[in-house]
Chains A and B, each alone.
Chain A
Amino acid sequence: MKEIRIHARAGQGAITTAALLGFAYFKEGMYPYAFPNFGAARMGAPMNAFVRVDSKPVRLRSQIYEPDYVIIVDPTLMRGYNCFSGLKENGIAIINAEENSEMPKLNARQRAFLIPANEIALKTIGRPLGNTALIGAFAAATGDLKLDFLLEVIGSRFTGKVGQANIEAVKQGYEYVRSINSKTSKEQGR
């Protein structure tokens, strides 16, 4: 079983992100359960969305306290909230952050990826909605989701120009993480 916790503000598309990830896992033949937890039910209020996924139907209905992965859509939430609370020993964090932002302090085996997702979104979609870039980054960072399936899911959720723009955002998020990874492995090779 894998557990994903998404940190965002209401209106930033966290539920759609959870749904798209769930759909991609569904395409992989897994049984995802994607669900939101609303806070104050107001635009801008901190909220979570979750995906719990397993090879058999998910029965556990509680929220996620010890995620394998966290996705932080809005980095301002890292002030005042411990977005990494309960993150597994070898967990992965995907963070929407400007380039050269400070790396969060994590344990040795935990990994964080800072993705300029809003920048990617502005270039591709024309609006600072970094979710699809983050999903692409998630696929590359975790290795859980095939890029082809993901693009198929995005293509069925968004049509026309918006679809093309979001597919491009996913690809750029994916490539961004791949380039970080290859840089790190080269450095380690030295």
Chain B
Amino acid sequence: MKEFLEGSRGVAEAVKLCAPGVISAYPITPQTHIVEELAQMVADGSLNAQFVNVESEHSAASVVLGAVAAGVRSYTATSSQGLLYMAEVIFNIAGMRLPLVLTCANRAISAPINIWNDQQDSVSLRDAGWIQLYAENNQEAVDFHFMGYRLSEDKSVMLPVMVCMDGFILTHGMETVDIPEQEKVNKFLPAYKPLYKLDTQDPISMGLLADPDYYLEARFAIQETLKSVLSFIPKVSEEFRNTFGRDYKDCLVEEYFTKDADKVIVAMGSVCGTIKEVIDELRKKKKKVGLLRIISYRPFPYNRVYEALKNVPRVAVLDKAVSLGAYAPLAVEVKAAFLGKKKSPKVTSSFVAGLGGRDITAHSIKEIFRKLTQTEVNSEFIDLKPELLTEEYGE
């Protein structure tokens, strides 16, 4: 049913429909209304789950790790410092091949302290072995949770999924969202049947020491699985379309007017909506511009990116995160997609915008198109205030 909901509320409704047995979260900043809503549902008895309030995100992640290891579908949400505090456990959840869905309400990282939106938190955990899907709007944020559990728990995958949605812009934004019926969700997402679990009747050990004779193979196996996930995500997306009617195509990338484009921006998340608005406006003025939206950042769809951009003369990559001291994270991947290939854009420039909640406006996007000239630039910061860079301390 179509409802007018806050993004966090929509996600809570989606999680409820997925019927996790254990939810664990640290309830204080940086947290969203998602777990607040879920705690309410559990308290009201409308969601039959155990809600474990813990003293830190490290514990929240540890609780859901343990719960999934015991064979129970589980859920947690966090963002920013909370996700970083989870980091050690985040790697363990993937390494132990435990299926889980976590919502990351994308927010900036300290210092300076900043509660606002960018994507530095989840991008910083790109190497953890998780599947990362980035939502453009709240409908996608909701839908990616159903797909997330479906992907994660498939016997061919057995890896966790992080649903990334822009903090405040989506989590605190209210818009129209279609919340599906329980029957449809049940049809799409069958009850979780663990391949392996902690069971006193049939004891096994998990997460043990793997010495140099074994560790390399464990990591190789995850790498190979994630490669195969690139062809599995489109299948899950097709199942999703058949059940719910919403079509995310291959759900790896979205192409928006890329076919005949002279200039294309590559980006992730809610900013893609703003970019689409600008493209519609510029297209009316006969400007051949387009957008390639990355949905699956991990695994990264190199071939799809190559196919979409190989004939585009100029590409701008917009990052809402930085890799301080190096090229911006998304730009690196896009550039890598063309290494050793026959065709490639003449120019692949990289721009950084929106850090710490700096508003990305239609004007910021036009500025990127304007600065996408024949001279390649790297990690050019958009909407920088030069007057703030002149302060001097001491003599």
Task: For A22, give the chain B residue with the smallest CB separation.
Answer: B174
Within 8 A of B (CB), among A28-51: 31-38, 41
Query: B175 contacts A33, CB within 8 Å?
Result: yes
In Å, the complex CA distance between A17 and B4 comes to 14
Q: What chain B residues lie within 8 Å of A26 (beta carbons)?
A: 4, 176
In Å, the complex CA distance between A107 and B273 comes to 33
For the residues of B in contact with A, the DSSP-based class is: mixed
Query: A41 contacts B174, CB within 8 Å?
Result: no
Q: Mark B303-346, 1 if CB is under 8 A from A, else 0.
A: 00000000000000000000000000000000000000000000
Query: Does A62 interact with chain B (Cβ within 8 Å)?
Result: yes
Query: Does B48 interact with chain A (Cβ within 8 Å)?
Result: no
Query: B173 contacts A35, CB within 8 Å?
Result: yes
Query: B168 contacts A62, CB within 8 Å?
Result: no
Query: B174 contacts A57, CB within 8 Å?
Result: no
Q: Mark A18-30, 1 if CB is under 8 A from B, else 0.
A: 1100110010000
Within 8 A of A (CB), among B109-155: 115-116, 137
Query: Does B179 interact with chain A (Cβ within 8 Å)?
Result: no
Task: For A58, give the chain B residue with the smallest CB separation.
Answer: B175
Q: What chain A residues lie within 8 Å of B270 (beta carbons)?
A: 61
Query: A23 contacts B168, CB within 8 Å?
Result: no
Query: Does A65 interact with chain B (Cβ within 8 Å)?
Result: yes
Would you give the shortest CB distance from A149 to chain B, in whole angstroms? 12
Query: A23 contacts B173, CB within 8 Å?
Result: no
Would you give the shortest CB distance from B200 to chain A, in whole angstroms? 47
In Å, the complex CA distance between A58 and B174 comes to 11
Task: For A27, give the chain B residue with the smallest CB separation.
Answer: B4
In Å, the complex CA distance between A5 and B166 comes to 21
Query: Does A164 interact with chain B (Cβ within 8 Å)?
Result: no
Task: For B175, give the chain A residue with the smallest CB separation.
Answer: A33
Would you give the shortest CB distance from A27 to chain B, in whole angstroms? 8
Query: A59 contacts B174, CB within 8 Å?
Result: no
Query: A59 contacts B273, CB within 8 Å?
Result: yes
Q: What chain B residues lie within 8 Å of A31 (beta carbons)?
A: 175-176
Q: Mark A46-81, 1 if CB is under 8 A from B, else 0.
A: 000000000001111111010000000000000000
Q: What chain B residues lie within 8 Å of A38 (beta carbons)?
A: 115-116, 168
Query: B173 contacts A62, CB within 8 Å?
Result: no
Q: What chain A residues lie within 8 Å of B362 (beta carbons)?
A: 60, 62
For the residues of A in contact with B, the DSSP-based class is: mixed
Would you give the shortest CB distance from A36 to chain B, in whole angstroms? 6
Given the contacts A22-B174, A57-B175, A57-B176, A35 and B168 also touching, CB distance less than 8 Å: yes
Query: B169 contacts A59, CB within 8 Å?
Result: no
Q: What chain A residues lie within 8 Å of B176 (beta carbons)?
A: 26, 31-32, 57
Q: Mark B356-376, 1 if CB is under 8 A from A, else 0.
A: 000111101000000000000
Interface size class of A (residues with CB under 8 A): 20 to 34
B174 is contacted by which of A33, A37, A61, A62 (Cβ under 8 Å)?
Answer: A33
In Å, the complex CA distance between A26 and B5 comes to 10
Q: What chain A residues lie within 8 Å of B274 (beta carbons)?
A: 59-62
Given the contacts A33-B175, A35-B172, A36-B172, A23 and B4 also touching, CB distance less than 8 Å: yes
In Å, the complex CA distance between A144 and B168 comes to 27
Query: A60 contacts B273, CB within 8 Å?
Result: yes
Query: A34 contacts B174, CB within 8 Å?
Result: yes
Q: What chain A residues lie within 8 Å of B173 (beta carbons)?
A: 33-35, 61
Query: A62 contacts B359, CB within 8 Å?
Result: yes
Query: Does B88 interact with chain A (Cβ within 8 Å)?
Result: no
Within 8 A of A (CB), among B153-210: 166, 168-169, 172-176
Query: A19 contacts B174, CB within 8 Å?
Result: yes
A32, A35, A38 pick with most chain B CB within 10 angstroms: A35
Q: What chain B residues lie within 8 Å of A22 (beta carbons)?
A: 4, 174-175
In Å, the complex CA distance between A174 and B365 comes to 40
Within 8 A of A (CB), among B264-322: 270-271, 273-274, 276-277
In Å, the complex CA distance between A83 and B322 comes to 34
In Å, the complex CA distance between A63 and B115 comes to 17
B4, B115, B270, B359 pick with most chain A CB within 10 angstroms: B4
Task: For A33, give the chain B residue with the smallest CB separation.
Answer: B175
A32 is contacted by which of B168, B175, B276, B361 (Cβ under 8 Å)?
Answer: B175
In Å, the complex CA distance between A32 and B176 comes to 7
Task: For A36, give the chain B residue with the smallest CB separation.
Answer: B172
Would you give the shortest CB distance from B353 to chain A, in whole angstroms? 11
Query: A61 contacts B276, CB within 8 Å?
Result: no
In Å, the complex CA distance between A6 and B176 comes to 20
Q: What chain A residues lie within 8 Å of B6 (beta carbons)?
A: 19
Query: A61 contacts B169, CB within 8 Å?
Result: yes
Please give the residue numbers on chain B whose beta carbons come within 8 Å of chain A beta carbons, in ascending order: 4, 6, 115-116, 137, 166, 168-169, 172-176, 270-271, 273-274, 276-277, 359-362, 364
What would 24 A/B residue contacts be, using CB atoms closer than 8 Å? A18-B174, A19-B6, A22-B4, A31-B175, A32-B174, A33-B173, A33-B174, A34-B175, A35-B174, A38-B168, A41-B115, A57-B176, A59-B137, A60-B273, A60-B277, A61-B166, A61-B173, A61-B270, A61-B271, A61-B274, A62-B360, A63-B359, A63-B361, A65-B361
Q: Which 5 A-B pairs have the closest CB atoms?
A: A59-B273, A26-B4, A35-B173, A62-B361, A34-B174
Please give the residue numbers on chain A whose beta carbons come within 8 Å of chain B beta carbons, in ascending order: 18-19, 22-23, 26, 31-38, 41, 57-63, 65
